[in-house]
Amino acid sequence: MSLYTLILFALLCAGLYYVCPLRLRWLLLLLVSYAFYAYHGLSALPFLLLTTLSTWAGALLIGRLSARSKAELKEKKASLTAQERKALKAALRRRERIVLLCTLLLNFGALATLKYASPVLTLAGFAPLNLLLPLGISFYTFQSTGYLIDVYNGKTAPQRNPLRFALFVSFFPQLIQGPIGRYDQLAPQLEAPHRFDLDGIERGLLLMLWGFFKKKVIADRALPLVSGVFGAQEGYGGAMIVLAVLGYSLQQYADFSGGIDLVTGIAELFGIRLAPNFKRPYFAVSLGDFWRRWHISLGAWMRDYVFYPFALTRPVSRLAKAAKARLGAEVSRALPAALGNILVFLLVGIWHGATANYVLWGLYNGLILAASALLEPAYKRFSDRHGALVKSNAFHVVRVLRTFMIVNIGWYFDRCTRAGDAFAMLARTVTDFRPAQVSGELLLALGLSSRDLFILALATLLLFAVSLAQERGAQVRAWVLSRPLALRWLLLLGFILFILATLVSGSAGTGSFMYAVF
């Protein structure tokens, strides 16, 4: 489904939604979501159904076992000693854990097979399976299993209605590339019979327009530069490589955050607020701050379901205690966080792809975050001694630029298809810079016209200006929508005409969403 078809589909569905009887609106959302998914390939539907039915049934079974366990413990409480009650509770809990682990294994096993079977077979010398990844399979798998774990932990009551749960899994805007929703926040909104709200629809349309701008005017226009250099990196010196990495940084952010803006705006057409997924990450002052701003919902999922459970395990606790005796209390306290960060980013790297470049990208981020956790006490002492310097605007800018550089070094590994290419490009960045290569003639040879370069620069400046205003606390969308009607529509019409004018050129790239099949 093209971007234009998606927007038309969303507008038609919104029209149907508000003429549908209130009590049936959630059911209409379910039907159009499955129609959307079926449009992308009927062969992908079994995987969506497998995830939906297995996590729904697993959560329901866990809920029933938990209720029985509580009743059994209550019944036998008077006749058991404290130690016997503890043993019985552990035995009853074990049944729930078996259901949880089997359901997780089924879902992540299916995801791993689809994502990694072909590359693993190729690496082993066998013929690849050439399996096609269903649309958004990682996002709905993470979302469903997060719900399952919340039920197991007693944070969420299991949903008894399979159709209502199916809507939570399949709500069509977030199938494209997230965000990863939480059941307690999203499900009540999906089931609520939202009434027509012109202000809310106008807010959604404005956000859709901003997302469309980021995707079509910036991300797709930067694509030829990035693909051209990374696709033939042997012929370029460090200056062009740096330019391509910066272009990739821009392309990836505009593509991913633009897509999130678009789907968030579509959800707002129905009165539904999706979880935030980006918060101006390139203004981050540390790598940890960057990952708290980039793909927020994935970071929160990893934090709650991987990082904390791992950091609080007995082996990690024992290791931290052993470290205290040899390395001191500061290292002991930081060690669980350091190890947790390495594990999380190793998994995130593998999630991106089962190749060495992604594994190295994950380890690069994880090791830096681990070092940051271990050095946190030293940084705190530095801050206490030099408070005025640390709080200065100049030091803040230095931290932002330092973080930007660290992140972009990581993008070498993320964008290259082979780890060896990433190391070679890094080496040429330092040893073979060749600044003379950065010329208009060479940029034009990559597929960008002079007009495209001008538009890309102008659009990037606009994106930066809006982001900077938001970083300083401005509510840009609210400001636009609070203008008098004539001025508001004049601004919107001007922005629409600018976008339309920039779509005329045929030389810019036309890529689909980068994360649509993750």
pLDDT digits (tens, 9 = 90+) for 175-215: 888 899 999 999 999 999 999 998 899 999 999 999 999 99
**147 touches 168 (CB < 8 A):** yes
Q: What is the pLDDT of residue 57?
A: 98
Burial grade of 57 (CB within 10 A; 0-12, 13-18, 19 or more): middle
- Ramachandran region of residue 210, left (φ > 0), alpha (ψ -120 to 50) or beta? alpha
* Residue closest to 182 by CA, chosen among 341, 300, 47: 300
Length of the chain: 518
**147 touches 55 (CB < 8 A):** yes
Structure token digits, residue 141: 């798998």
Residue 278 β-bridge partners: 294
505: confidence class by pLDDT, cuts 50, 70, 90:
low
- Interval 143-165: pLDDT, tens: 999 999 999 999 999 999 999 99
Rounded to whole angstroms, the Cα distance separating 422 from 271 reads 44
In single-letter form, the type of residue at position 500 comes to: L
* Residue closest to 317 by CA, chosen among 298, 340, 288: 340
pTM of the model: 0.92
Q: Which residues of 336-360 are buried (b: 16+ CB within 10 A; e: fewer)?
A: bbbbbbbbbbbebbbbbbbbebbbb
Rg of the Cα atoms in the chain? 25
Q: What is the pLDDT of residue 250?
A: 97
507: confidence class by pLDDT, cuts 50, 70, 90:
very low
Q: How many CB atoms lie within 10 A of CB 101?
A: 12
- CA 274, 282, 246, 443 torsion: positive or negative? positive
